[in-house]
A and B are shown apart, each in its own frame.
Chain A
Amino acid sequence: MRLAKNIAVSESGFLFNPSSGDSFSCNQVAADVINLLKEGKTSDQIKNAITLKYEVDTSDFERDLQDFWMQMKDNNLLNGEVIV
Protein backbone atom coordinates (compact mmCIF):
# COMPACT_ATOMS: atom_id res chain seq x y z
CA MET A 1 0.00 0.00 0.00
CA ARG A 2 1.43 3.36 -0.99
CA LEU A 3 0.46 6.88 -1.90
CA ALA A 4 -0.60 7.21 -5.55
CA LYS A 5 1.98 8.55 -7.95
CA ASN A 6 2.76 12.26 -7.88
CA ILE A 7 0.35 13.14 -5.07
CA ALA A 8 1.56 16.46 -3.67
CA VAL A 9 1.30 16.90 0.09
CA SER A 10 1.99 20.13 1.90
CA GLU A 11 3.06 20.40 5.51
CA SER A 12 -0.35 21.81 6.35
CA GLY A 13 -2.04 18.69 5.03
CA PHE A 14 -3.22 19.99 1.67
CA LEU A 15 -3.30 17.17 -0.86
CA PHE A 16 -3.30 17.65 -4.59
CA ASN A 17 -3.75 14.91 -7.18
CA PRO A 18 -2.17 16.29 -10.37
CA SER A 19 -3.73 13.67 -12.63
CA SER A 20 -7.31 14.45 -11.65
CA GLY A 21 -6.98 18.03 -10.39
CA ASP A 22 -8.70 17.01 -7.15
CA SER A 23 -7.54 18.61 -3.92
CA PHE A 24 -8.22 17.75 -0.29
CA SER A 25 -7.40 19.18 3.07
CA CYS A 26 -6.54 17.08 6.09
CA ASN A 27 -6.26 17.76 9.76
CA GLN A 28 -2.90 17.45 11.49
CA VAL A 29 -3.25 13.81 12.41
CA ALA A 30 -4.15 12.86 8.84
CA ALA A 31 -1.26 14.96 7.57
CA ASP A 32 1.10 13.06 9.89
CA VAL A 33 -0.29 9.74 8.66
CA ILE A 34 0.19 10.71 5.04
CA ASN A 35 3.72 11.93 5.64
CA LEU A 36 4.59 8.65 7.35
CA LEU A 37 3.12 6.75 4.40
CA LYS A 38 5.21 8.87 2.06
CA GLU A 39 8.29 7.83 4.02
CA GLY A 40 7.40 4.24 3.23
CA LYS A 41 6.19 3.28 6.69
CA THR A 42 3.88 0.29 7.01
CA SER A 43 0.46 0.48 8.61
CA ASP A 44 1.83 -1.00 11.87
CA GLN A 45 4.66 1.51 11.97
CA ILE A 46 2.16 4.33 11.34
CA LYS A 47 -0.07 3.08 14.15
CA ASN A 48 2.87 2.97 16.56
CA ALA A 49 4.06 6.45 15.61
CA ILE A 50 0.65 8.08 15.90
CA THR A 51 -0.37 6.41 19.15
CA LEU A 52 2.97 7.47 20.64
CA LYS A 53 2.53 11.08 19.52
CA TYR A 54 -1.15 11.54 20.27
CA GLU A 55 -3.34 10.61 23.20
CA VAL A 56 -5.51 8.02 21.48
CA ASP A 57 -6.64 4.51 22.21
CA THR A 58 -4.98 2.02 19.85
CA SER A 59 -8.19 0.22 18.89
CA ASP A 60 -9.97 3.55 18.26
CA PHE A 61 -7.14 4.66 16.06
CA GLU A 62 -7.08 1.37 14.14
CA ARG A 63 -10.74 1.82 13.30
CA ASP A 64 -10.22 5.44 12.23
CA LEU A 65 -7.18 4.51 10.21
CA GLN A 66 -9.08 1.85 8.30
CA ASP A 67 -11.81 4.35 7.54
CA PHE A 68 -9.19 6.88 6.43
CA TRP A 69 -7.48 4.39 4.11
CA MET A 70 -10.82 3.58 2.49
CA GLN A 71 -11.50 7.29 1.90
CA MET A 72 -8.04 7.66 0.38
CA LYS A 73 -8.63 4.64 -1.84
CA ASP A 74 -12.07 5.88 -2.93
CA ASN A 75 -10.50 9.18 -3.95
CA ASN A 76 -7.74 7.48 -5.96
CA LEU A 77 -5.02 8.59 -3.56
CA LEU A 78 -3.79 5.12 -2.67
CA ASN A 79 -2.38 2.27 -4.68
CA GLY A 80 -2.27 -1.31 -3.54
CA GLU A 81 -4.34 -3.29 -1.10
CA VAL A 82 -5.51 -1.59 2.06
CA ILE A 83 -3.96 -3.34 5.06
CA VAL A 84 -4.64 -2.20 8.61
Chain B
Amino acid sequence: MKKTVHIGVTGLNNIDSPGPGIAVIRALRESQHYDVRIIGLSYESMEPGIYMPGMADKVYQIPYPTAGTEALLQRIEYIHQEEKLDLIIPNFDAELYNFIKISDRLEQLGIATFLPTLEQLEARDKINLFQFGVKHGLDVPRDRTIHQVFEIPNVAAEFSYPIVVKGKYYEAFVCYNYEQSEKAFHKLYAKWGLPIIIQEFVKGTEVNVAALGDGQGTAISIIPMRKMYITDKGKAWAGITIEDESLNDLAKKFVAVTEWKGGFELEVMKSPDGKLYIMEVNPRFPAWIYLSAGAGQNQPEALMQMALGSTVAPMTKYKVGKLFLRYAWDLIIDVEQFQQIAAYGEL
Protein backbone atom coordinates (compact mmCIF):
# COMPACT_ATOMS: atom_id res chain seq x y z
CA MET B 1 0.00 0.00 0.00
CA LYS B 2 1.44 3.36 -1.00
CA LYS B 3 1.80 6.25 1.42
CA THR B 4 -0.30 9.32 0.66
CA VAL B 5 1.71 12.52 0.34
CA HIS B 6 0.03 15.91 0.71
CA ILE B 7 1.57 18.34 -1.76
CA GLY B 8 0.97 22.05 -2.22
CA VAL B 9 1.33 23.07 -5.87
CA THR B 10 1.24 26.57 -7.37
CA GLY B 11 0.89 27.59 -11.01
CA LEU B 12 -2.74 26.64 -11.63
CA ASN B 13 -3.18 29.31 -14.31
CA ASN B 14 -3.77 26.86 -17.16
CA ILE B 15 -4.35 29.61 -19.74
CA ASP B 16 -2.81 30.36 -23.13
CA SER B 17 0.46 31.15 -21.39
CA PRO B 18 0.14 28.43 -18.76
CA GLY B 19 1.86 27.98 -15.45
CA PRO B 20 3.44 24.58 -14.80
CA GLY B 21 1.13 23.60 -11.96
CA ILE B 22 -1.30 21.36 -13.83
CA ALA B 23 1.51 19.59 -15.67
CA VAL B 24 3.27 19.01 -12.34
CA ILE B 25 0.06 17.68 -10.80
CA ARG B 26 -0.56 15.30 -13.69
CA ALA B 27 2.96 13.93 -13.35
CA LEU B 28 2.64 13.55 -9.57
CA ARG B 29 -0.65 11.68 -9.95
CA GLU B 30 1.16 9.10 -12.08
CA SER B 31 3.65 8.38 -9.32
CA GLN B 32 4.57 4.73 -8.94
CA HIS B 33 5.82 5.30 -5.40
CA TYR B 34 3.23 7.43 -3.64
CA ASP B 35 -0.43 8.33 -3.71
CA VAL B 36 -0.89 12.08 -3.64
CA ARG B 37 -3.39 14.54 -2.23
CA ILE B 38 -2.94 17.78 -4.13
CA ILE B 39 -3.51 21.08 -2.39
CA GLY B 40 -3.71 23.74 -5.07
CA LEU B 41 -2.28 27.13 -4.14
CA SER B 42 -3.75 29.89 -6.29
CA TYR B 43 -3.41 33.66 -6.61
CA GLU B 44 -6.49 34.48 -8.69
CA SER B 45 -10.02 33.10 -8.65
CA MET B 46 -10.04 32.56 -12.40
CA GLU B 47 -7.11 30.16 -12.56
CA PRO B 48 -8.59 27.24 -14.49
CA GLY B 49 -6.62 24.67 -12.53
CA ILE B 50 -8.73 25.48 -9.47
CA TYR B 51 -11.77 23.99 -11.16
CA MET B 52 -10.31 21.23 -13.33
CA PRO B 53 -11.68 17.84 -12.29
CA GLY B 54 -9.12 15.38 -11.04
CA MET B 55 -6.40 17.94 -10.43
CA ALA B 56 -6.45 19.69 -7.03
CA ASP B 57 -8.27 17.98 -4.18
CA LYS B 58 -8.58 21.30 -2.37
CA VAL B 59 -7.51 24.82 -3.29
CA TYR B 60 -6.43 27.74 -1.14
CA GLN B 61 -5.59 31.25 -2.24
CA ILE B 62 -2.23 32.51 -1.12
CA PRO B 63 -0.99 36.11 -1.01
CA TYR B 64 0.87 37.63 -3.93
CA PRO B 65 4.67 37.54 -3.64
CA THR B 66 4.70 41.31 -3.12
CA ALA B 67 2.91 40.80 0.21
CA GLY B 68 6.14 39.36 1.56
CA THR B 69 7.36 36.28 3.38
CA GLU B 70 5.48 36.75 6.65
CA ALA B 71 2.10 36.96 4.92
CA LEU B 72 2.97 33.86 2.91
CA LEU B 73 4.15 31.95 5.97
CA GLN B 74 1.04 32.81 7.96
CA ARG B 75 -1.18 31.58 5.17
CA ILE B 76 0.85 28.38 4.71
CA GLU B 77 0.68 27.75 8.45
CA TYR B 78 -3.11 27.96 8.29
CA ILE B 79 -3.25 25.67 5.25
CA HIS B 80 -0.87 23.25 6.95
CA GLN B 81 -3.14 23.07 10.01
CA GLU B 82 -6.00 22.06 7.74
CA GLU B 83 -4.14 19.85 5.28
CA LYS B 84 -0.98 18.53 6.94
CA LEU B 85 1.26 19.36 4.00
CA ASP B 86 4.28 17.13 3.40
CA LEU B 87 5.75 19.09 0.50
CA ILE B 88 5.29 22.32 -1.44
CA ILE B 89 6.33 22.66 -5.10
CA PRO B 90 6.33 26.32 -6.19
CA ASN B 91 6.22 26.82 -9.96
CA PHE B 92 6.45 30.59 -10.53
CA ASP B 93 9.69 32.51 -10.86
CA ALA B 94 8.22 35.47 -9.00
CA GLU B 95 7.35 33.44 -5.87
CA LEU B 96 10.54 31.41 -5.57
CA TYR B 97 12.43 34.03 -3.59
CA ASN B 98 9.79 34.00 -0.85
CA PHE B 99 9.50 30.22 -0.70
CA ILE B 100 13.27 29.84 -0.52
CA LYS B 101 13.40 32.42 2.26
CA ILE B 102 10.84 30.54 4.36
CA SER B 103 12.01 27.03 3.47
CA ASP B 104 13.79 26.54 6.80
CA ARG B 105 10.69 27.55 8.70
CA LEU B 106 8.58 25.28 6.51
CA GLU B 107 10.93 22.44 7.31
CA GLN B 108 10.43 23.10 11.01
CA LEU B 109 6.73 22.73 10.41
CA GLY B 110 7.34 19.42 8.67
CA ILE B 111 6.83 20.74 5.14
CA ALA B 112 9.56 19.77 2.71
CA THR B 113 10.70 21.78 -0.28
CA PHE B 114 13.32 20.99 -2.89
CA LEU B 115 14.57 24.35 -3.99
CA PRO B 116 17.79 26.03 -5.08
CA THR B 117 19.56 28.42 -2.73
CA LEU B 118 19.13 32.16 -3.09
CA GLU B 119 22.68 32.31 -4.44
CA GLN B 120 21.88 29.74 -7.13
CA LEU B 121 18.68 31.59 -7.95
CA GLU B 122 20.47 34.88 -8.32
CA ALA B 123 23.38 33.50 -10.31
CA ARG B 124 21.16 32.48 -13.24
CA ASP B 125 18.94 35.55 -13.06
CA LYS B 126 18.58 37.23 -16.46
CA ILE B 127 20.52 40.24 -15.19
CA ASN B 128 23.51 38.07 -14.24
CA LEU B 129 23.29 35.39 -16.91
CA PHE B 130 26.01 36.64 -19.21
CA GLN B 131 28.54 36.88 -16.37
CA PHE B 132 27.42 33.46 -15.21
CA GLY B 133 28.17 32.09 -18.67
CA VAL B 134 31.61 33.70 -18.79
CA LYS B 135 32.47 32.34 -15.33
CA HIS B 136 31.50 28.76 -16.16
CA GLY B 137 32.45 28.54 -19.82
CA LEU B 138 28.88 28.50 -21.09
CA ASP B 139 27.88 30.40 -24.21
CA VAL B 140 25.34 33.10 -23.39
CA PRO B 141 24.38 35.95 -25.74
CA ARG B 142 25.56 39.38 -24.67
CA ASP B 143 23.05 41.53 -22.88
CA ARG B 144 22.61 44.92 -21.25
CA THR B 145 20.34 45.92 -18.41
CA ILE B 146 18.52 49.20 -18.89
CA HIS B 147 16.22 51.32 -16.78
CA GLN B 148 15.19 54.00 -19.23
CA VAL B 149 13.94 53.83 -22.77
CA PHE B 150 16.51 56.30 -24.10
CA GLU B 151 19.21 53.72 -23.37
CA ILE B 152 17.93 51.52 -26.19
CA PRO B 153 19.72 53.20 -29.14
CA ASN B 154 23.19 52.76 -27.62
CA VAL B 155 22.59 49.08 -26.96
CA ALA B 156 21.09 48.58 -30.41
CA ALA B 157 24.15 50.25 -31.95
CA GLU B 158 26.37 47.80 -30.07
CA PHE B 159 24.35 44.65 -30.87
CA SER B 160 22.70 45.64 -34.17
CA TYR B 161 19.05 44.94 -34.85
CA PRO B 162 17.24 42.72 -34.31
CA ILE B 163 17.54 42.77 -30.54
CA VAL B 164 15.58 40.88 -27.91
CA VAL B 165 13.81 43.04 -25.31
CA LYS B 166 13.07 40.99 -22.20
CA GLY B 167 11.10 41.49 -19.02
CA LYS B 168 12.51 40.95 -15.57
CA TYR B 169 10.62 37.70 -15.03
CA TYR B 170 8.78 36.76 -18.18
CA GLU B 171 8.25 37.64 -21.82
CA ALA B 172 10.59 38.64 -24.58
CA PHE B 173 10.12 40.48 -27.86
CA VAL B 174 12.34 40.30 -30.92
CA CYS B 175 12.53 43.90 -32.14
CA TYR B 176 13.75 44.98 -35.56
CA ASN B 177 13.85 48.74 -34.99
CA TYR B 178 13.70 51.40 -32.32
CA GLU B 179 9.93 51.84 -32.47
CA GLN B 180 9.31 48.16 -31.78
CA SER B 181 11.92 48.20 -29.01
CA GLU B 182 10.36 51.24 -27.37
CA LYS B 183 6.92 49.66 -27.47
CA ALA B 184 8.28 46.44 -25.97
CA PHE B 185 10.10 48.38 -23.24
CA HIS B 186 6.94 50.15 -22.09
CA LYS B 187 4.85 47.01 -22.28
CA LEU B 188 7.28 45.01 -20.16
CA TYR B 189 7.87 47.87 -17.73
CA ALA B 190 4.14 48.22 -17.13
CA LYS B 191 3.71 44.52 -16.53
CA TRP B 192 6.87 43.43 -14.73
CA GLY B 193 8.68 46.58 -13.71
CA LEU B 194 12.37 47.35 -14.08
CA PRO B 195 14.96 46.58 -15.14
CA ILE B 196 14.51 45.62 -18.77
CA ILE B 197 17.11 43.37 -20.38
CA ILE B 198 18.27 43.83 -23.96
CA GLN B 199 19.81 40.64 -25.30
CA GLU B 200 21.75 40.08 -28.47
CA PHE B 201 19.71 38.17 -31.05
CA VAL B 202 21.08 34.75 -31.95
CA LYS B 203 19.83 33.07 -35.08
CA GLY B 204 19.18 29.36 -34.87
CA THR B 205 16.84 26.62 -33.74
CA GLU B 206 15.30 26.96 -30.33
CA VAL B 207 15.45 23.90 -28.13
CA ASN B 208 14.43 23.58 -24.50
CA VAL B 209 15.71 21.25 -21.83
CA ALA B 210 13.79 20.29 -18.70
CA ALA B 211 16.09 18.91 -16.04
CA LEU B 212 16.31 18.07 -12.37
CA GLY B 213 19.34 18.59 -10.16
CA ASP B 214 19.91 16.80 -6.88
CA GLY B 215 21.61 19.69 -5.14
CA GLN B 216 24.96 17.93 -5.19
CA GLY B 217 26.04 18.42 -8.77
CA THR B 218 24.27 15.48 -10.40
CA ALA B 219 21.55 15.75 -13.01
CA ILE B 220 18.87 13.19 -12.18
CA SER B 221 16.89 13.71 -15.36
CA ILE B 222 17.42 15.58 -18.62
CA ILE B 223 14.72 15.82 -21.29
CA PRO B 224 15.42 17.96 -24.38
CA MET B 225 12.48 19.16 -26.42
CA ARG B 226 12.09 21.00 -29.69
CA LYS B 227 9.02 23.22 -30.12
CA MET B 228 6.89 22.23 -33.07
CA TYR B 229 4.27 24.93 -32.76
CA ILE B 230 4.73 28.30 -31.15
CA THR B 231 1.87 30.65 -30.21
CA ASP B 232 1.88 34.37 -30.88
CA LYS B 233 3.02 34.73 -27.27
CA GLY B 234 6.05 32.61 -28.01
CA LYS B 235 4.82 29.68 -25.95
CA ALA B 236 5.22 26.08 -27.06
CA TRP B 237 1.86 24.65 -28.04
CA ALA B 238 3.40 21.43 -29.30
CA GLY B 239 6.83 19.91 -28.92
CA ILE B 240 8.76 16.71 -29.39
CA THR B 241 11.50 15.03 -27.38
CA ILE B 242 14.80 14.87 -29.22
CA GLU B 243 18.12 13.14 -28.75
CA ASP B 244 21.13 15.39 -28.63
CA GLU B 245 24.25 14.56 -26.64
CA SER B 246 25.45 18.15 -26.73
CA LEU B 247 22.25 19.29 -24.96
CA ASN B 248 22.64 16.53 -22.38
CA ASP B 249 26.22 17.61 -21.77
CA LEU B 250 25.16 21.24 -21.43
CA ALA B 251 22.51 20.41 -18.84
CA LYS B 252 24.93 18.19 -16.92
CA LYS B 253 27.51 20.95 -16.92
CA PHE B 254 24.97 23.47 -15.66
CA VAL B 255 23.98 21.19 -12.78
CA ALA B 256 27.60 20.38 -11.99
CA VAL B 257 28.78 24.00 -11.84
CA THR B 258 25.74 25.30 -9.92
CA GLU B 259 24.94 22.19 -7.83
CA TRP B 260 21.37 23.09 -8.74
CA LYS B 261 18.68 21.71 -6.46
CA GLY B 262 15.27 21.19 -8.03
CA GLY B 263 13.71 21.47 -11.44
CA PHE B 264 14.81 23.95 -14.08
CA GLU B 265 14.54 24.66 -17.77
CA LEU B 266 17.27 25.73 -20.16
CA GLU B 267 16.10 27.79 -23.12
CA VAL B 268 18.80 27.16 -25.71
CA MET B 269 19.45 28.45 -29.20
CA LYS B 270 21.36 26.07 -31.44
CA SER B 271 23.13 28.13 -34.07
CA PRO B 272 23.56 26.79 -37.62
CA ASP B 273 27.14 25.82 -36.75
CA GLY B 274 25.92 23.73 -33.83
CA LYS B 275 26.92 26.09 -31.02
CA LEU B 276 24.57 26.10 -28.03
CA TYR B 277 23.66 29.44 -26.48
CA ILE B 278 21.80 29.54 -23.18
CA MET B 279 19.16 32.21 -23.64
CA GLU B 280 17.53 31.81 -20.24
CA VAL B 281 17.52 29.55 -17.24
CA ASN B 282 14.06 29.16 -15.73
CA PRO B 283 14.47 28.13 -12.08
CA ARG B 284 11.52 25.75 -11.94
CA PHE B 285 9.73 23.14 -14.04
CA PRO B 286 8.43 24.35 -17.40
CA ALA B 287 4.75 24.20 -18.33
CA TRP B 288 5.48 21.24 -20.62
CA ILE B 289 6.99 19.13 -17.83
CA TYR B 290 4.30 16.47 -18.11
CA LEU B 291 6.13 15.43 -21.28
CA SER B 292 8.93 14.18 -19.01
CA ALA B 293 6.49 11.67 -17.53
CA GLY B 294 5.22 10.83 -21.00
CA ALA B 295 8.75 10.17 -22.19
CA GLY B 296 9.61 7.91 -19.26
CA GLN B 297 11.40 10.23 -16.80
CA ASN B 298 8.81 11.63 -14.41
CA GLN B 299 10.69 14.64 -13.05
CA PRO B 300 8.02 15.89 -10.60
CA GLU B 301 7.81 12.41 -9.10
CA ALA B 302 11.59 12.24 -8.77
CA LEU B 303 11.63 15.66 -7.11
CA MET B 304 8.96 14.46 -4.67
CA GLN B 305 11.02 11.38 -3.83
CA MET B 306 14.18 13.38 -3.20
CA ALA B 307 12.30 16.02 -1.19
CA LEU B 308 10.96 13.28 1.05
CA GLY B 309 14.43 11.88 1.66
CA SER B 310 14.84 9.16 -0.95
CA THR B 311 17.83 8.80 -3.22
CA VAL B 312 17.01 8.75 -6.91
CA ALA B 313 19.53 7.39 -9.38
CA PRO B 314 20.10 9.42 -12.54
CA MET B 315 17.65 8.41 -15.25
CA THR B 316 19.27 7.81 -18.61
CA LYS B 317 16.61 6.36 -20.90
CA TYR B 318 13.66 8.20 -22.33
CA LYS B 319 11.44 7.93 -25.39
CA VAL B 320 12.66 10.09 -28.27
CA GLY B 321 9.95 11.29 -30.60
CA LYS B 322 7.30 11.71 -27.90
CA LEU B 323 5.09 14.71 -28.65
CA PHE B 324 3.05 16.92 -26.43
CA LEU B 325 0.16 18.77 -28.06
CA ARG B 326 -1.69 21.34 -25.98
CA TYR B 327 -5.39 22.06 -26.45
CA ALA B 328 -8.09 24.43 -25.25
CA TRP B 329 -11.06 23.05 -23.34
CA ASP B 330 -14.08 24.86 -21.93
CA LEU B 331 -14.78 24.06 -18.28
CA ILE B 332 -18.38 24.51 -17.15
CA ILE B 333 -18.53 25.55 -13.52
CA ASP B 334 -21.18 26.97 -11.23
CA VAL B 335 -20.96 30.53 -10.03
CA GLU B 336 -21.21 29.17 -6.49
CA GLN B 337 -17.80 27.56 -6.90
CA PHE B 338 -16.36 30.79 -8.19
CA GLN B 339 -17.92 32.71 -5.30
CA GLN B 340 -16.52 30.22 -2.81
CA ILE B 341 -12.90 30.76 -3.86
CA ALA B 342 -13.34 34.47 -4.54
CA ALA B 343 -15.00 35.25 -1.20
CA TYR B 344 -13.40 32.71 1.14
CA GLY B 345 -10.15 31.86 -0.57
CA GLU B 346 -10.81 28.12 -0.41
CA LEU B 347 -12.50 25.56 -2.59
Contact = CB atoms under 8 A, between A and B. Distances in A.
Contacts, number: 21
B85 to A, nearest CB: 38
B242 A8 contact: no
Contacts of A16: 321
Question: Which of A8, A16, A20 has the most chain B CB atoms closer than 10 A to its own CB?
Answer: A20
What DSSP secondary structure best describes chain A's contact surface? loop
B138 interface: no
Nearest to B323: A21
B17 interface: no
Contacts of B207: 21
A18 interface: yes
B243 A6 contact: yes
Contacts of A59: none
A19 B241 CA distance: 9
B226 to A, nearest CB: 3
A20 B242 CA distance: 6
B306 to A, nearest CB: 29
A6 B242 CA distance: 11
Contacts of B315: none
Nearest to B320: A18
Nearest to A8: B321
Contacts of A18: 242-243, 320-321
A19 B320 CA distance: 9
A84 B207 CA distance: 35
A24 B226 CA distance: 15
Q: How large is the interface on B (under 10, 10 to 19, 20 to 34, 35 or more residues)?
A: 10 to 19
Contacts of A21: 207, 225-226, 228, 239-242
Contacts of A20: 205, 226, 242
Contacts of B241: 21
B104 interface: no
Contacts of A8: 321
B244 A19 contact: yes
A21 B243 CA distance: 8
Contacts of A6: 243
A6, A18, A21 — which one has the most chain B CB atoms within 10 A of its CB? A21
A73 B241 CA distance: 23
Interface in A40-54: none
B272 to A, nearest CB: 11
Interface in B310-339: 320-321
Nearest to B241: A21
A19 B242 contact: yes
Interface in B213-245: 225-226, 228, 239-244
Contacts of B228: 21
Interface in B232-267: 239-244
Contacts of B240: 21
A16 B321 CA distance: 8
Interface string A1-17: 00000101000000010
A57 B63 CA distance: 75
Interface string B197-213: 00000000101000000
Contacts of A19: 242-244
A6 to B, nearest CB: 7
Nearest to A17: B242
Closest 3 CB pairs of A and B: A21-B226, A18-B243, A18-B320
21 contacts: A6-B243, A8-B321, A16-B321, A18-B242, A18-B243, A18-B320, A18-B321, A19-B242, A19-B243, A19-B244, A20-B205, A20-B226, A20-B242, A21-B207, A21-B225, A21-B226, A21-B228, A21-B239, A21-B240, A21-B241, A21-B242
Interface of B: 205, 207, 225-226, 228, 239-244, 320-321
Given A18-B320, A21-B226, 15 more contacts: A6-B243, A8-B321, A16-B321, A18-B242, A18-B243, A19-B242, A19-B243, A19-B244, A20-B226, A20-B242, A21-B225, A21-B228, A21-B239, A21-B241, A21-B242
